[in-house]
Amino acid sequence: MRRLWRLICAATLAAAVLAAGASAAFARTFYVNGTSGNNANSCEASSAACKTIPAAVTKSEADPETSRIEVAAGAYEETVLIHKAEDSGLTINGAGSGPGGTQIVGPAKASEATIKTVFPATGITVSNLSVLNPSGDTQSGVACGGEVSLRNVLVTMMNAGGASGIESAMFGSLEVNGGGVVMAAGTEGDAIMARATALTVANATVTAAPGSKDVGIGDESGPLTVSNTTVDMEGATSTKFAVGGGLAPVSLNHVSITQAGEASNAPGLELFLATPGSISNVSVSMTNPKGKAAAVEQLVGNANFSHLEVGGAWQGAALAAEGGNVDLADSHLATGAGSTTSALLYGGLGEHPGLVLQRTVLQANPGAGPGALAVFGGDVTLDSSEVLGGVSGVFFEQIGKKHQLTVSASTIDAGKPGVADGAGVFGVSAVAGGASVAEAAITGSVVLERQLVEAVPPAKSTVTCQYSDIPNQLEGGVACGAGSAGNASSAVSSLFSEPVTGYQLNPSSSAVGGVPAGAISLPFGITPSASDLAGNPRTGDGVDPCFSAQDKGALELQGHLVNCPSSPPPVVQPLAKPVAGVISALTISPSAFLAAPKGATISSASSATKKKYGAKITYRDSQAATTTFTVLLPLAGRMQGKSCKKPGRSNKHGRDCTLYKPLGSFTHTDVAGANSLHFSGRLHAKKLAKGSYRLQAVAHDAAGNGAAVNKGFTIK
């Protein structure tokens, strides 16, 4: 399902850090005007501007402080190389990225990217301009090394070849804020790609024209953050994904993905997670009727999906997840009209809680097999959700272990919509092989079709029901008898109001108020949803808060209370939990420095000896807190299970990874807002040896909790 892709890629700096840097004062400002400029000018006035950007870059290198280059409107056919330590902190600003603005055009036979930054140059900002690689220019539009921010930069790739719009080296980080990338017909490179670096994309648009290929936005092994961004690969014949990340934290929020990929292995969103991923308000539309890949693929690791919308015209699954825990909430996953595949495929590794669905709709076609939800290993919990279509609504298969399927306050309608199908169609199929046990428990739910248990001893499978509306069934391992344990067996016409496929309960149905308070209990410490699939309260019915029973199925019928108790139970207010501080805009300046020969580990930023030893650490804390800084030494490691460990016999076949060894720590008492201190490069009264390190910052709450923020530095 998942290929470990290897590509040259693009590096990222957090938007907050660069936003803070944008307000810094510049020692000098240089000017460029392609019409009236002359490279022999001083270039320090618009009336005496340079003619080319490289000439202004060279002049700015003589300034020991950070400089700014203002580029007038017009087209500049040249390449811009920023590669010296003296270039660090440089800002190049154009007159706009649209028509009439500033455009940098790569030469037809260029040997370098149109804009290229190389470490040790770092802290580079390029803003308000466009980059055009014309036909014949086989290089990338922007190639980054060091810490780089592209703000309102639009890259257009016209050459038929494999060059990327934006890519980066392995040092530093990259922020793309505004603008984006256009891949013209015939181009085969990635639009935005990073490898082993942090990539942040916000407020951007990526577009692939018909005939273009490869990736929209990807980060192979560095932190990936994408927000308020559109990735339109509808024109692409991609053999890869539209958006993908792996082996590092992934955060996607308000992202729209359109994927046309013809190949069976071309998902819209691909995740290879070594740490938990957070995906919210993401829509994926698959537009190729021949496509067979899952729209969203997750391999290994844990992911939290909320407000995920998947649909379109293709033949694959909506979501395929393997090897980790998956939380899916407030989402709608529907397969294409011609698909015979499950809406959701899940393969668990046996760790609780497995797959958890709350207030979510899974929708497959009637003949989809083996089920609208197909599970091969692991625990599964459905809460206030609908599972529609499939040969089975839920196909739950276990081999070798004991696992549990919990169907709570949900509606399952397998086969044809709105019909209680007969032989060969099942609501829940519990299948066990080997020495495994597959247990399915249905509580407070509506299931239109009969249940199936299959097991060859010593394997065992069971289905039990309580407070549910299900077909009357007491046979084999199925204990779903109507008239006992609060169960009922109603005709579809009497159970639901018209249209039946809306699955709203009929007011006269016994399913209304049919689940007493306390009957719903979920395993593994999962909290039952307080609202139904439509967002209505589960108890109180939206009219009288003293009513504590709830309806069977995924939807609460509003305004129909029964048996309201005389007085409501007392309301116990939960104790407020301590809130950890949030670190942002962490920077170390300079990022490469000499360790002090003596002195304390930290001191006030104002008392530091200017630029001779050590570095200034600046950051923002969301509240007054104590921040612990830990110096980490990167070492060669090897994966053992889900962890990076020291190489040895037990993990000799594991993948190579980076193991970070703590060398020591120090603390700083923060104020809410901006904080700064001077770090001498010394720990335990000794200088750090020459080499590369990582500084980890954690702002603690009263209980010692807090999220870690990392920044690399080098001791010269």
Residue 55, SS3? helix
Kind and range of the H or E run holding 56: helix 53-60
pLDDT category at 648 given cuts 50, 70, 90 is confident
For the chain, the first-to-last Cα distance in angstroms comes to 44
Dihedral of the alpha carbons of 586, 588, 589, 591, in degrees to the nearest 10: -130
Token readout for 54 is 């490289």
Nearest to 588 by CA among 710, 412, 439: 710
- What is the average per-residue pLDDT within 236-261? 85
pLDDT for residue 1 is more than 50? no
pLDDT at res. 166: 95
When pLDDT is cut at 50, 70 and 90, the band that residue 649 belongs to is confident
Q: Report pLDDT for 9.
A: 30
What are the pLDDT digits (tens) for 11-60?
A: 332 333 333 333 345 579 999 999 999 999 999 999 999 999 999 999 99
495-539 pLDDT, tens digit per residue, is 999 999 999 999 999 999 899 988 999 999 999 999 999 999 987
pLDDT at 198: 92
Q: What is the pLDDT of residue 551?
A: 93
Q: What percent of the chain has a predicted confidence (pLDDT) above 70?
A: 90
Asked if residues 615 and 594 have their Cβ atoms less than 8 Å apart, the reply is no
CA distance 381 to 407: 6
Structural element, H or E, at residue 15: helix 15-22
Residue-wise pLDDT tens digits, 161-218: 888 999 987 778 999 999 999 998 878 889 999 988 899 999 999 998 877 778 899 9
CA distance 464 to 444: 12
Q: What is the pLDDT of residues 101-152, one digit of tens each?
A: 999 999 988 999 999 999 899 999 999 999 999 999 999 999 998 899 999 9
pLDDT band at 543 (very low <50, low <70, confident <90, very high): very low
Q: pLDDT tens digits for 587-605?
A: 998 989 899 898 888 888 7
- Write down the number of H helices and E strands in the chain: 3, 53
Tell me if residue 686 falls in helix, strand or coil. strand
Query: Residue 579 above 70 pLDDT?
Result: no
pTM over 0.85: no
pLDDT averaged over every residue in the chain = 87
Determine phi and psi for 102, rounding to 5 degrees: -100, 130
Q: Per-residue pLDDT tens for 296-355?
A: 998 877 889 999 999 999 999 999 998 889 999 999 999 999 899 999 999 987 778 999
Q: How many C-beta atoms lie closer than 10 Å to residue 162's C-beta?
A: 15
What pLDDT digit, counting tens, does each position of 666-701 carry? 888 888 888 899 989 998 888 999 999 999 988 876
**Range 81-105 burial, b when 16+ CB lie within 10 A, else e:** bbeeebbbbbbbbbbbbeeebbbbb
| Cα 700 to Cα 707: distance, rounded to the nearest angstrom | 8
- The predicted pLDDT at position 274 comes to 66
